[in-house]
Structure 1
């Protein structure tokens, strides 16, 4: 979970054993010999040729989703965020990243940064218009823009509650509705609404009732839209992260080590997630690999919600 909800998958070895990514938090050992050649990745997971739009993508989880798309072959992305300068800078950085360890050149990649306030329907419509004018279509959309604040219910200022719902709920709705308006004429597409494990459980010890309710609304919104647009070939699914070690989250936990211990102790896997832990899930939901899946939720929370 991040104040701005604003990659690497597994590799299939010839022995048919899935090899988890080795990281500082996951030091599993292997005795099998890695083959010199590996089978090709299932083509349905490829994002090659798809036009993607991600809100809240200048930083945080939204930016990680864009990186996952690039690593899955996507070269046409609209990075949408509140500040144009940050969106364009993120687009520049992602373009450079896409050229690292690949045969791609900058001219092969078209990643644009677009200013957008998702709480404004007009601003969202303008962002889509710029995307369509640039790429001609949009195939996969991730509504990742969002905020979280921690106030006790009696102390929560009304203007901040309204702002949170305008961004988290209305912003998700505007983003999804405009996506569908553009996807239906072209034959369909995939929409991923980013909710949170907080749509399913009540976080402790921090009080955040409006946030939890907003994410529950997003989860049910996706189910409702999925039914409404299913026969029009527009899929709507939900990605619900648990506690994720974004830059902002790390800053908060560095000043409150006891909170970090609490979160870790409540998570069966005993750790806070890394943003790249979401990469496989967002690519799956956005790609053709999930073509018969709509109205569903994938929780990536280290098991938090099951106990």
Structure 2
């Protein structure tokens, strides 16, 4: 209940004073880590962090274009370093975070965007194919969250955003990807679980579920030809660009979202409303 005259907000319990001001979406003075930062959604988010004032550790596999991501961030006046690691390797991720903190300072922000996708009918899918996607898209997110969470708990708090997919909510017509859908659903539930475990120690955890987005992943043969059809099935009439996911990520990382944790934010152009 708001008392417009007194400028106070009363909730259950003791009313408290609050100064009303514009939400702050800036990330000045903070240090973030982005996995999968070499391309696609991860790269767009890493650039958005840099443009919003954060220093950015850009993590990806060896061979990814991390130099390009760092150059893009520096071009908008940000600070960035590149670190190579396999997101499924706990020791490598922990070492990467240590390197970023040594170069840029204690991390308080993280976005986990590393992932893979492929397709096979469930009745014929080799267990090795199932396991690889689960390892990267779910276990890799847990490994990254665990290392990031440990650092943030040491550093006094922070915010983590995991990139899930609307495939956590729907089964995509025409795409035989039970392993991917299951992994992304796991990412959403993982975020909720970590959110409650770390809430009282100042670490927020949320996820974003993008709709069909133009990235190297969606150029794979079984999906590339169908992308324009997906655009026609989307209420906003188009598929997403990676930059469409960056804005929601900045929001969830910022002080403007400091009362949001355990949420999965669908960013799908309205695809899942019908």
In structure 1, distance between residues paired with 2:149 and 2:224: 42
Deviation at 1:247, TM superposition (A): 4.4
C-alpha contact (below 8 Å) 1:84/1:114 kept by paired residues = no
In structure 1, distance between residues paired with 2:122 and 2:223: 26
Q: Which residue of 1 aligns with 2:236?
A: 269
Distance 1:82 1:131, change over 3 A: same
Mapped pair 1:134 → 2:103: yes
CA-to-aligned-CA distance 1:8-62 (integer Å, 9 cap, x gap): xxxxxxxxxxxxxxxxxxxxxxxxxxxxxxxxx9462001111010000011110
Mapped pair 1:67 → 2:47: yes
Please tell me the root mean square deviation across aligned C-alpha atoms, in Å: 2.0
Deviation at 1:249, TM superposition (A): 2.8
SS of equivalent to 2:73:
helix
In structure 2, distance between residues paired with 1:136 and 1:277: 28
Q: Which residue of 1 aligns with 2:13?
A: none
Q: Which residue of 1 aligns with 2:76?
A: 98
Matches within 5 A, 1:226-265: 226-249=195-218, 252=221, 256=225, 259-265=226-232
Mapped pair 1:45 → 2:14: no
Between 207-216 and 239-248, the greater mean CA deviation after superposition = 239-248
CA-to-aligned-CA distance 1:175-213 (integer Å, 9 cap, x gap): 111111111122100000110000000101111100000
Q: Which residue of 2 aligns with 1:208?
A: 177
SS of equivalent to 1:149:
coil
Aligned length: 254
Deviation at 1:84, TM superposition (A): 5.8
SS of equivalent to 1:148:
coil
Q: Which runs of 4+ in 1 moved over 4 A?
A: 250-255
Picking from 285, 288, 305, the partner of 2:255 is: 288
Distance 1:260 1:84, change over 3 A: closer
C-alpha contact (below 8 Å) 1:79/1:87 kept by paired residues = yes
In structure 2, distance between residues paired with 1:113 and 1:72: 18
Unpaired runs of 5+ residues, structure 2, are: 1-20
C-alpha contact (below 8 Å) 1:184/1:234 kept by paired residues = yes
TM-score where L is the length of structure 1: 0.78
Mapped pair 1:57 → 2:24: no
Between 220-229 and 123-132, the greater mean CA deviation after superposition = 123-132
C-alpha contact (below 8 Å) 1:88/1:114 kept by paired residues = no
In structure 2, distance between residues paired with 1:302 and 1:114: 33
Q: Which residue of 2 aligns with 1:189?
A: 158
In structure 1, distance between residues paired with 2:40 and 2:60: 11
SS of equivalent to 1:152:
coil
CA-to-aligned-CA distance 1:243-285 (integer Å, 9 cap, x gap): 01124535759962xx134312322222111211112200001
Distance 1:202 1:130, change over 3 A: same
In structure 2, distance between residues paired with 1:51 and 1:145: 19
